[in-house]
Chains A and B, each alone.
Chain A
Amino acid sequence: GQNIDQPTEMTATEGAIVQINCTYQTSGFNGLFWYQQHAGEAPTFLSYNVLDGLEEKGRFSSFLSRSKGYSYLLLKELQMKDSASYLCAVRDRRDMRFGAGTRLTVKP
């Protein structure tokens, strides 16, 4: 099975940088995903890592260390609209499972 852990809540200031960590345990690792979800809406894809290292996409970056079972999502130049839940998801050979999500609040 899979065990995915991430902090429940985080707060940051507009314009700042925030790092959301995710640790996981799985058999047959086949990729790690980060999704953003606003309340009442479906998740939207942010990033995908299958090899170790950093993937950068605009204000968002995601890092993966397979040997440590660890990933983080880095959000730069935070904007108020970034207030949302951020879901770490791990795919094994069969399906994708989600962590509980980190609710990020961006304050002025």
Chain B
Amino acid sequence: GAVVSQHPSWVICKSGTSVKIECRSLDFQATTMFWYRQFPKQSLMLMATSNEGSKATYEQGVEKDKFLINHASLTLSTLTVTSAHPEDSSFYICSARGGGQGSSYEQYFGPGTRLTVT
């Protein structure tokens, strides 16, 4: 199946700093990418949806100025957590959907990035 990578796989940062997470579709063009957040023992919560070349659509309660999403190309989307605080510590997972290899209905998930803010 199609492959989606995320980098870094884990990161520890100090409170007040910013962290950028990259999500790449390796063998297909992702017209739409999704960013999810998952707290321990909870399900995935959709944060935002981004289409290549346009602004991301944020879910209610997700601060767009805090979680900056850039979908600059059909293979790359980035999530930047600005001025991170301990409550932002979570497992961030991206997902990509698009044409090319793989079924158009399927979303492919990256391996996730574990963020710890101290």
Contact = CB atoms under 8 A, between A and B. Distances in A.
B68 interface: no
B46 A95 contact: yes
A54 interface: no
B43 A98 contact: yes
A43 to B, nearest CB: 5
Given A42-B110, A95-B49, A48 B105 contact: yes
Given A48-B106, A95-B34, A42 B43 contact: no
A50 interface: yes
A87 B43 contact: yes
Contacts of A95: 34, 46, 49
A31 interface: yes
B1 interface: yes
**Interface size class, chain A:** 20 to 34
A43 B44 contact: yes
B111 interface: yes
Interface centre among B36, B44, B95, B111 (most CB of A within 10 A): B44
A96 interface: yes
A43 B46 CA distance: 14
Contact of B109 (A31, A42, A91, A94): A42
Interface of A: 31, 33, 35, 40-45, 48, 50, 87, 91, 94-101
Given A40-B114, A95-B49, A100-B42, 6 more contacts: A33-B107, A42-B93, A44-B109, A91-B105, A98-B43, A101-B42
